[in-house]
């Protein structure tokens, strides 16, 4: 069945450093979504990518969808303490990666 | 406020007991989903529905049943709870295979 792999599982960065998480699918995806879950909270939708090679930005966050539509990345520039949480990718609302937990060191 | 509402928020069950988790959405979404979240395992899909009266199995359906008798409600049932079903359960809904709106979760402990 379809699998979505996400790396790394954990990431500790100093406040102000950049952060990237990667998502890889075993099959071609019609779309990919990114979610953020704060500690103790529920997943919150961030963005959806649909087109091959698509790049979208939300302030300090940059999302990319691979040309083959089998991989994606989320890059955060100059992390802040408010970025703490777990970031998930999901293929078509169905299959979620295991997430990358981001911890910010002050 | 519009959104996805899950009840109850917390529950402790004894092994072998049954219970039903309720998910309600008021956004007229066709698609609804039940996930469980365990430490280090991410979100795993239990069952989903693409419309009223339809349900389908996800990754980890064993031990659970679901029903979608009304478009706005998606029920998750545990017939005979086991300690392995201790988890946080999230319901979500969406228009299609797109932006999922999640409820705040139900924390279930089976002792």
Question: Rounded to whole angstroms, how far apart are CA atoms A6 and B41?
Answer: 11
Output phi, psi for A86, to 5 deg. -110, 130
Gyration radius from chain A CA atoms: 13
Question: Rounded to whole angstroms, how far apart are CA atoms B108 and B111?
Answer: 10
pLDDT value of position B11: 97
| A24 lies within 8 A of chain B by CB | no
Q: Which of B92, B100, B103 to mutate to test the interface with A (most CBs of A within 10 A)?
A: B100
Determine the distance in angstroms separating the CA of A36 from the nearest CA of chain B, rounded to an integer: 11
pLDDT value of position B1: 60
pLDDT at B110 over 80: yes
For residue A92, give the nearest of B42, B97, B103 by CB distance.
B97
- Which range among A1-10, A44-53, A89-98, B96-105 has the greatest average pLDDT? A44-53
Q: What pLDDT digit, counting tens, does each position of B15-25 carry?
A: 999 999 999 99
Question: How buried is residue B84: exposed, middle or buried, by Cβ count under 10 Å (0-12/13-18/19+)?
Answer: exposed
Q: Is B96 helix (H, G, I), strand (E, B) or coil?
A: coil
Q: Is A71 helix (H, G, I), strand (E, B) or coil?
A: strand
CB within 8 Å: A88 and B105: no
Residues of B in contact with A10 (CB under 8 A): none
For residue B45, give the nearest of A33, A43, A95 by CB distance.
A95
CA B29 to chain CA centroid, Å, is 15
Provide CB contacts within 8 A for B13, sequence distance 6+: B19, B78, B81, B108, B109, B110, B111
The residue of chain B with its CA nearest to that of A6 is: B42
């Amino acid at each position: 069945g379809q699998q979505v792999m996400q790396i790394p599982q954990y990431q500790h960065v100093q406040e102000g450093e950049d952060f990237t998480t990667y998502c890889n699918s075993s099959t071609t995806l019609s779309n990919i979504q990114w979610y953020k879950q704060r500690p103790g909270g529920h997943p919150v939708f961030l963005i959806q990518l649909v087109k091959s090679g698509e790049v979208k930005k939300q302030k300090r966050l940059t999302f990319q969808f691979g040309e083959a539509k089998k991989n994606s990345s989320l890059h955060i520039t100059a992390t802040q303490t408010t970025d703490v949480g777990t970031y998930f990718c999901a293929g078509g609302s169905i299959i979620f990666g295991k997430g990358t937990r981001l911890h910010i060191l002050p | 406020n519009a959104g996805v509402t899950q009840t109850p928020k917390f529950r402790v069950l004894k092994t072998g007991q049954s219970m039903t988790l309720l998910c309600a959405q008021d956004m007229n979404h066709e698609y609804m989903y039940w996930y469980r979240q365990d430490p280090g395992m991410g979100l795993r899909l239990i069952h989903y529905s693409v419309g009223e009266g339809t349900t389908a199995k996800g990754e980890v359906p064993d031990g659970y049943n679901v029903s979608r008798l009304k478009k706005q409600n998606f029920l998750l049932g545990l017939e005979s709870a086991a300690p392995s079903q201790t988890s946080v359960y999230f319901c979500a809904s969406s228009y299609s295979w797109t932006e999922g709106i999640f409820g705040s979760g139900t924390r279930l402990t089976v002792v």
